[in-house]
């Protein structure tokens, strides 16, 4: 559940269940449209397969076309390697003005659904 705070931030601490396939899956979508700074952290300790995590923004008014954003640190998309990378992935902070989506795509079948806790902060600029 995403909870609106008085200072304009949005914080979420739910857990996404990574499906047992290799399709790109949506972890989180923010339907906010105002100018803001977005940051997302995903806890990837439960994954058993290398995965790609993407931070995307909508590029049209209808909300149907999302595109992966390039970030200044070059970590989007984020290529997660099991056993050699840190236990999580941080995407952002990045400035956006449209809907935002975080996705994950496993490089192999997990064998079972995997819980991926995450934390999202959106700081609104207007």
CATH of the domain at 115: 2.60.120.1050
Whether pTM exceeds 0.85: no
Q: Tell me the pLDDT tens digit for each residue of 10-45.
A: 444 456 677 778 888 888 888 888 888 888 888 888
Q: In whole angstroms, give the CA distance from residue 77 to residue 36.
A: 20
Q: In the chain, how many domains are there? A: 1
Q: Is 65 exposed, middle or buried (0-12, 13-18, 19+ CB in 10 A)?
A: exposed
Tokens at residue 57, please? 């923004």
Residue 88 has pLDDT above 60, yes or no: yes
* Domain span including residue 98: 2-124
Specify the pLDDT at position 14.
59
Q: Tell me the pLDDT tens digit for each residue of 39-81.
A: 888 888 888 899 988 888 888 876 678 888 765 556 668 888 8
């Amino acid at each position: 559940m995403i909870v609106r705070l008085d200072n304009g931030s949005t914080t979420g601490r739910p857990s996404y269940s990574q499906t047992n396939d290799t399709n790109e899956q949506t972890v989180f979508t923010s339907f906010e449209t105002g100018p803001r700074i977005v940051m997302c952290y995903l806890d990837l300790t439960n994954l058993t397969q290398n995965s790609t995590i993407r931070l995307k923004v909508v590029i049209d008014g209808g909300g149907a076309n999302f595109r992966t954003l390039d970030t200044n640190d070059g970590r989007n998309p984020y290529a997660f390697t099991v056993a050699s990378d840190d236990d999580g992935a941080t995407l952002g902070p990045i400035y956006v003005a449209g809907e935002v989506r975080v996705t994950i795509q496993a490089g192999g079948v997990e064998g079972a659904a995997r819980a991926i806790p995450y934390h999202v902060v959106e700081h609104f600029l207007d």
